Structure 1
Amino acid sequence: MSAPEQVAAPRVALLISGLGLGGVQRTMLTLAGGLADRGLAVDLLVPDEHGPFRDQIPANVRLVNLTRWWLRLPVIRARKRRKALLMAPAIADYLRRERPAALLSASHYVNLAALWGRALAGTGTRLVISQRTQLSVAITNSKLPILRRRPLLAWMTRRYYPRADAIVAVSDGVADDLAAVAHLPRERVVTVYNPTDLAAIAQRAAEPAPHPWLADGGAPVIVAVGRLAAQKDFSTLLRAFARLRTQRAARLLILGEGRLRAPLEALAAELGVADAVALPGYAENPFAALARADLYVMSSRYEGLPGALIQALACGCRIVSTDCPSGPAEILDHGRYGLLTPVGDVEALAGAMQTALATPPDPPRQRERAAFFSVPRAVDAYLDLLLGAAAGNFRQPAG
């Protein structure tokens, strides 16, 4: 009797806006590697194969460059949203050629391109779209330059999102917001928390400290991580830090880069705390800083599911965070694993930092909470969404 014919592993594709720095890119790369580790053939689709995360693509994931001549035009290359929306024909070509079992896309403009690409392809590929941030913020917050011309976005999501086979949000807050804005039944939106590679974080946390303050035994070091952008509201953090400094010695290390560097440096000087504030730029390994920080603070105005907050838990940090929409309250279990303060409240943030620094640290407890956001848990959930009944062959074994 001949041996049974071996069935090829299902192919799934993950679509992102590029390989630039960002939480979406980091988490989707982690998910791609997790799915590939379960035996699936995984393609990572991007409109441009260049970027800082190019070298972090898992070895068992195939990179597929969707670049076409129109995506190289200067007017398109300079506008990430335009590039995302114009990927649809290239996505259609890929779907017709490779016939993956399922396609997963991440973030609203990429989701729209995936929906249009599948329609053009006519292949009936199962499509799962993932909302990463508060859609209402992207539509209504006209104070931020990056969030203009958004009534069209609201209309497009209401028209096209219902055509997806499954809709994922990275937190319950994002899911609630998406259901309201896109006029979707709430039960249509499934919450799947982002995967966090806890083993990799533990390994990298043991590497040398990325800044002298973290190893000199001096005053406590408060660490913040994120782009120097309005969303992160580091100006409120600086004002709260200045108020804290009137009560006790402390230093503030902000890891990140962005357009607001000069205004933030000027504000630190104006507040008289420039000597106790450092902005060393983007940190390729923030975990080595988080593992040595006396306190991690997040001052954001809004988020989806802030990965840095989970990473801080994984590093055993004491935590203070704004209770912004959305994610912090869910991650910190409504204050059990870190202090929550109102958005933009300088006095409350300063007081919470003072309280946290006076509270004995409990790293094992923080790391135990981080395990709730593990890679296996997320991969199992996405397998079910992408493959349905066939997912059982690739799920994590019990125990």
Structure 2
Amino acid sequence: MKKIKILFFIYQMGGGGAARTLLNIINNLDRNKFSPVLVTLNYNGTYESEIQDDVAFIKLPTKRLSRSVFQLVRIIKNENIDLVFSTIPRVNTIAILAAKLSFTKVKTVVREADNLGGNWRTNLLLLGFGCMYKLSDQIVSLSEGVKENLVQRYKVKPTSIKVIYNPVDLEAIHEKIETGQVEPAFSEILSKKEKLIITAGRLVEQKDQKTLLRAFSEVTKKINSQLVILGEGPLKNELILQAKELNIQGCVHFFGFQSNPYVYLKNADLFVLSSKHEGFSHVIAEALATGTPVVSTECKSGPAEVLNNGEYGYLCAVGDADDMANKMLDILRLSKMEKKEMEAKGYSRASHFDAKKIVKQYEEVFEKVCFKP
């Protein structure tokens, strides 16, 4: 039986959740059935080194998404691609357009990963994306909340959407915990024997680390603790200034992007996500996989689904520093036995998102689309 040749298209294999998801799908695909080809724009991505050796990796000679259409068309024809898979709205529209312009029998599957929306201009743009999405053979949303948003804002039929949660590569996480090393500065923080709180994500408005800093400033008044922030972004200087204004700069540490965040998460007493909106929140599932308790905002729409409405972690109101601080304190004050129970429960939840299980769902979608008359 001929293998299905899949072209995976993304901006870059950078440090974001979309790239991590693609990496997990590609690396766990059944090679007896599928032959993966990865295509990115001309950027150097931090996850490139983790792509398996048998994956054909093509980097386009442009950093402009708009200039990639006809280059993708050539690849689809020259490589005899059976299916194009992409994620992120603008990338999805380019992928669909390239597939149509190839005038081949190639099929398309597009993935939507966030609850996008806002002012009338943004909502109008989403309607445009929706028109393009309707030309694809299958739409995948990574949570029920994202599916609902696709129906409401993109005007896509619910029957056109398949919900598949993000794959979490538990095996790779365990290996990285065993083999990984932390920065010396992090070891110094651990040696203080204080409670360690950690967060991870781009330093942007969506992730709302400003609320987390306000909440942490209240926590430190009651429990001696340290906050480690993993990630880079345009708000870094603002956050550093805010920490100084709150007089907590001595116990807030910016460690930048870490290709192996798991060895840091494993050593923390608590992981906190302060986002204003998410599609799924891959990092929550990863934190649970390291055995770290979680506090997250109940933002639309992923965290509540990942934590099953608070069964596997604590949920707090978006932008509410007091509520967040109280939930953080609740976990930090757990007894050793209660904390172990919570860690075990969280790990059991992470197993629901194991890449081996989730990728099989993707494989079923790919086969169904390719063999559809």
Cα distance in structure 2, aligned partners of 1:389 and 1:267: 50
Scaled by the length of structure 1, the TM-score of the pair is: 0.87
Deviations 1:294-322 (A, max 9, x none): 00000011111111111100001111000
Unaligned runs of 5+ in 2: none
In structure 1, the residue matched to 2:175 is: 203
Deviations 1:116-137 (A, max 9, x none): 101111112111110111132x
1:217 Cα deviation from its structure 2 partner: 4.9
Contact kept in structure 1, 2:116 and 2:149, CA below 8 Å: yes
Cα distance in structure 2, aligned partners of 1:226 and 1:381: 27
Residue of structure 2 aligned with 1:43, choices 9, 29, 37: 37
Give SS of 1:320's match. strand
1:169 Cα deviation from its structure 2 partner: 0.5
Residue of structure 1 aligned with 2:289, choices 294, 299, 314: 314
In structure 2, the residue matched to 1:193 is: 165
Kindly report which structure 2 residues correspond to 1:307-386, keeping only aligned pairs within 5 A, or say none.
307-359=282-334, 360-361=338-339, 362=341, 363-386=343-366
Cα distance in structure 1, aligned partners of 2:24 and 2:126: 30
Mapped pair 1:32 → 2:13: no
Kindly report which structure 2 residues correspond to 1:248-259, keeping only aligned pairs within 5 A, or say none.
248-259=223-234
Cα distance in structure 2, aligned partners of 1:61 and 1:345: 45
Cα distance in structure 2, aligned partners of 1:32 and 1:103: 13
Cα distance in structure 1, aligned partners of 2:227 and 2:19: 27
Cα distance in structure 2, aligned partners of 1:141 and 1:195: 32
Relative to 1, partners in 2 of residues 1:390 and 1:232: Cα closer, same or farther, differing over 3 Å?
closer
Residue 147 of structure 2 aligns to which amino acid in structure 1? Answer: A
Deviations 1:311-351 (A, max 9, x none): 10000111100011121001001101110011000110000
Residue of structure 1 aligned with 2:241, choices 266, 279, 300: 266
Give SS of 2:301's match. coil
Contact kept in structure 1, 2:107 and 2:370, CA below 8 Å: no
In structure 2, the residue matched to 1:3 is: none
Cα distance in structure 2, aligned partners of 1:84 and 1:152: 21
Contact kept in structure 2, 1:201 and 1:287, CA below 8 Å: yes
1:152 Cα deviation from its structure 2 partner: 5.2
Cα distance in structure 1, aligned partners of 2:32 and 2:212: 42
Residue 224 of structure 1 aligns to which amino acid in structure 2? Answer: T
Contact kept in structure 2, 1:168 and 1:192, CA below 8 Å: yes
Relative to 1, partners in 2 of residues 1:37 and 1:200: Cα closer, same or farther, differing over 3 Å?
farther
Give SS of 1:178's match. helix
1:94 Cα deviation from its structure 2 partner: 1.4
Residue of structure 1 aligned with 2:110, choices 119, 129, 135: 129
Mapped pair 1:167 → 2:148: no
Scaled by the length of structure 2, the TM-score of the pair is: 0.92
Residue 322 of structure 2 aligns to which amino acid in structure 1? Answer: E
1:187 Cα deviation from its structure 2 partner: 2.3
Mapped pair 1:295 → 2:292: no
Across the two proteins, how many residue pairs are aligned to each other?
363
Which moves more between the two structures, 41-50 or 368-377? 41-50
Cα distance in structure 2, aligned partners of 1:286 and 1:174: 26
Deviations 1:50-73 (A, max 9, x none): 332221222121102233xxx3xx
Cα distance in structure 2, aligned partners of 1:49 and 1:345: 37
Give SS of 1:163's match. coil
Contact kept in structure 2, 1:126 and 1:386, CA below 8 Å: no
RMSD of aligned alpha carbons:
1.8
Mapped pair 1:23 → 2:4: no
1:364 Cα deviation from its structure 2 partner: 2.3
Contact kept in structure 2, 1:299 and 1:343, CA below 8 Å: yes
In structure 2, the residue matched to 1:90 is: 71
Give SS of 2:134's match. helix
Contact kept in structure 2, 1:296 and 1:312, CA below 8 Å: yes
In structure 2, the residue matched to 1:108 is: 89
Residue 367 of structure 2 aligns to which amino acid in structure 1? Answer: L
Relative to 1, partners in 2 of residues 1:390 and 1:101: Cα closer, same or farther, differing over 3 Å?
closer
> Percent identity at matched positions?
29
Contact kept in structure 2, 1:36 and 1:60, CA below 8 Å: no
1:103 Cα deviation from its structure 2 partner: 1.3
Unaligned runs of 5+ in 1: 1-6, 72-76, 78-82, 143-148, 392-399
Residue 288 of structure 1 aligns to which amino acid in structure 2? Answer: V
